[in-house]
Amino acid sequence: MIDIEKCRITHYPASVLAEAAKPVEKIDDNIRRLAEKMTEIMLKQKGIGLAAPQAGVPLRIFIISIDGTKEKVKVYINPIITPAGEALSIEEGCLSVPGIRTRIRRYPKCTVTATDLAGNRFTEQAEGLYARALQHEYDHIQGITIVNRLGQVAKIAHRKQLKRLREEHKSVSAQGKT
């Protein structure tokens, strides 16, 4: 059982962000409440996507709303992503790695197959920002953040912000809030 009240945005280098998430075994009211809570967190943070590990829950579920509205939120449970095309390097950020925007290589197109909250399996083709968002959120359920995708130059350029995030995490962990 997921404690929905404890769900909040999780920042790098929290361990839940570095581990592959577990499959959702059963779509029930708890999972539906989790999707609602994730939507609330994403909208409050002004994001267009959020994976369960970013809410502190190690499950293979994420949401996307390309226009950032509640009405357009789509839920992806146990997704599989198949990328296509030649990878492009475009700037992106991450709600779990605040203060860092960097160029990340992603594929311009992909196919996603997932299950929705009603238990229906679906497949969609995506391109552009939608494909990029799917790949970004899929990375999260695989235990990968944009920090893992930073090149050497970007790591040096963002070293102060990364250090600050690690220090904040230590401070929060010491207070028993992780």
Catalytic residues: 137
d(CA 159, CA 109): 31
Using H for helix, E for strand and C for coil, what is the string for 28-80? CHHHHHHHHHHHHHHHHCCCCEEEHHHHCCCECEEEECCCCCHHHCEEEEEEE
Token digits of residue 133: 């968002």
| Amino acid identity at 147 | V
Beta bridge partners of 126: 110
Backbone dihedral region of 71: left (phi > 0), alpha (psi from -120 to 50 degrees) or beta? alpha
